[in-house]
Amino acid sequence: MSSTVTLNGIELPLLTGDPNTWLRSSLVSVHQITTDGLRILFDRASVLQQNNVSSSTAFDLDPKTLVATVFYEASTRTACSFQAAAVKLGAQFMHVDSNHSSTTKGETLSDTIQCLACYADAIVLRHPTTGSMYSVLQQQRINKPLINAGDGIAEHPTQALLDVYTIQKERSGKGMDETMTLLCLGDLKHGRTVHSLVQLLATTAESVVWSKGLTIKYCAPKGLEIPDHVVHAIQEKNLKVVQEHYEDLDVALKNSPGKVILYVTRIQRERFPSETAFEAVKGSYVVDAKLLKQYNETIEMVLHPLPRVDEIATDVDEDPRAAYFRQMQNGLYVRMGILSLILAKAKATS
Ligand code: NCD
């Protein structure tokens, strides 16, 4: 089996159960992650979670390790959890906010990243332009690992990793007796977290989250449907994954014989061409306590990458099935796991 995958013309390493495949590697897409790669990462995240990130572990980094978080779009959870992860592993971070960098003087993204690669040991990048990660990687002089923290509307692989970790944790003890349904709701056109999640789950659900099969339901307002290329990428793999499309949430839920994991996303106002276009779809869906009661037997868990706006009412927060705050917390452990694998002090010996 090839140990690399070529995406957008760039050859990237597959990240497997061998920790050396992660060492100094860039993490740009979920297509790099194998099932064993997911297992090694989740085992680490679990150890770090049990340790309550309070004391040193074998996964600690060299204290001189420096992680740059470079954000050209707003972020609370992703930026802060990467920064916290670096610090909790004994390393350090520097944050670059594009509003206060030489970007404002007209510097290109590649030049900025090349500069930061001179100082930091890894670069965590978020950028609004789809494909930015690949254009940065084309620049041969950037010789430090690049971690995709949100590539336009394309992918957000570390969010998908923490989403699948959360599903695994929340389902632990539930057994493999059912086919799992993941119902993705909201702005599926612009929702990069969904694009990464469905592709990661499609390849790993059976062995990682103990599901016998997977049905993915996409429920979106007209015009905000899941892009065809995401659906086709899953179809092409010939997996036992069923994909269905809905506009009406009730219909999507009524057509679900088994348990449903509801993955809610916000309508991404900043990505609309005009305020009028946004107003037309704003508030399309609201998940509230009444809906959870009505589908008490169906909805097993509610996830959301956050931030939420109005698509999940606060009356859902106290329901034990509301897993989105635990999901947010898990982001720290999973990102600690990612940094500890990519920036480990030395090669692992078997
Ligand atoms: C998401 C993102 O940035 O894509 N947020 C996150 O990273 N947790 C989702 C969003 O902004 O709606």
More confident residue, 302 or 56: 302
Query: For residue 307, how far is its CA from the centre of ligand 1 (angstroms)?
Result: 7
Q: Determine which of 8-22, 23-37, 96-110, 291-305 has the lowest per-residue pLDDT on average.
A: 96-110
Q: What is the pTM of this model?
A: 0.96
Q: Which pLDDT band, with edges at 50, 70 and 90, does 174 fall under?
A: confident
* Residue 229 appears among annotated catalytic residues: no
In the reported structure, the alpha carbon of residue 266 is separated from the centroid of ligand 1 by a whole-number distance in angstroms of 9
Closest protein CA for atom 1 of ligand 1: 305
For residue 306, the CA-to-ligand 1 centroid distance in Å is 6
Nearest-atom index, ligand 1, CA of 74: 3
Closest residue to atom 12 of ligand 1, CA basis:
266
Residue nearest to atom 7 of ligand 1 (CA): 78
Q: Is the pLDDT of residue 350 over 70?
A: no
Q: Encode burial over 156-169: b for 16+ CB neighbours within 10 A, e otherwise.
A: bbbbbbbbbbbbbb
Distances in Å between the alpha carbon of 39 and those of 21, 33, 46, 115, 346?
A: 14, 10, 10, 34, 21
Question: At 11, is the pLDDT very low, low, confident or very high (cuts 50, 70, 90)?
Answer: very high
Interval between CA 78 and ligand 1 midpoint (Å): 8
Annotation marks residue 335 as catalytic: no
Asked about 126 being catalytic, the answer comes back as yes
* Neighbouring-strand partners of residue 4: 13
**Average pLDDT for the chain:** 94
Residue 203 annotated to the active site: no
Confidence of residue 175 (pLDDT cuts 50, 70, 90): low
Cα(328)–Cα(69) distance, integer angstroms: 18
- Model confidence at 55, pLDDT cuts 50, 70, 90, reads confident
**pLDDT at position 39:** 96
